[in-house]
Chain A
Amino acid sequence: SQTIHQWPATLVQPVGSPLSLECTVEGTSNPNLYWYRQAAGRGLQLLFYSVGIGQISSEVPQNLSASRPQDRQFILSSKKLLLSDSGFYLCAWRPRSPPDTQYFGPGTRLTVL
C-alpha cells in the first residue's frame, strides 16, 4: 500500500531564516505531487505541483520554491521566511492512472516568529 511522509511535523522559525520541508511517497511510482498551504481557518491553497523529476509548476508567486530531485521526493524551500509564511503545509500525491484520487500527507505546521 502507498504511504506519504512529511517532516518535520512541527517547526518554529524566525523571520528571515531558511526553510526546507520534505515529502516522500512510498509504494507507488511516477506520482503527481503537490504542495498546499492552509492558513489558520482558511481553505487549501495550491502552491506547487510536479508531474515528474525536475518538473515544477508554480501556482502562486511568492518567496517559496519547490524541487523534485527524485521520483517520490518533493521538497519545499525558502531562502528567507516571512511572517505570512506561517501555516499548515500539506504534501499530496495522485496516481497518473485512474482511480485518480488524491491523498494527503500528515502535514507540517510552520510558525514564523
Chain B
Amino acid sequence: QKEVEQNSGPLSVPEGAIASLNCTYSDRGSQSFFWYRQYSGKSPELIMFIYSNGDKEDGRFTAQLNKASQYVSLLIRDSQPSDSATYLCAVNSPRSSASKIIFGSGTRLSIRP
C-alpha cells in the first residue's frame, strides 16, 4: 500500500464546474496535509494546507480532511482553464526526524472550455 494514494487521472471537468480531487493516506499519525499544484514543466506550488478535521476554504479552493477515514480532498469551484495542472497531495511523515513530507503521484486535471 502506498503511503499517499491519488487517482492519476486525467480528470476532465467542464469550465465553471466543481473539480473534486481525492487522496488517501496510510499513516494515522499524520497531522499536516497539503495540496500542491504543478503546471507542466514547472515546480510544485503550495495552494492549500490543512491540519484539522473539516473544511478549510481559500477563495475558489476548499480542502477537506477526515482523519478517521484517512482521507483528504480538494474542491475547486468555478473551474477555469488555468486550473488545468497536476495536483499533488502531500502528508507529513511524523516518524521522520527531518519532517519529511510524503507526496502522492498526482492527479492530472483538465478543464475543458
Interface residues of A (CB under 8 A from B): 32, 34, 42-44, 46, 49-51, 57, 88, 90, 94, 96, 99-107, 109
Contact = CB atoms under 8 A, between A and B. Distances in A.
B46 A102 contact: yes
A90 B32 CA distance: 21
Contact of B43 (A32, A42, A99, A105): A105
B43 A107 contact: yes
Contacts of B69: none
Interface string B89-113: 0101000011111011110000000
Sort chain B's interface into a size bin.
20 to 34
Given A43-B106, A101-B49, A32 B99 contact: yes
A86 to B, nearest CB: 14
A91 to B, nearest CB: 9
Contact of B104 (A43, A49, A90, A109): A43
Contacts of A106: 42-43
B57 interface: no
Contacts of A104: 36, 43-45
Contacts of A96: 99
Nearest to A50: B98
A106 B39 CA distance: 12
Contacts of A44: 44, 88, 103
Nearest to A106: B43
Nearest to B96: A49
A94 B101 contact: yes
A51 B97 contact: yes
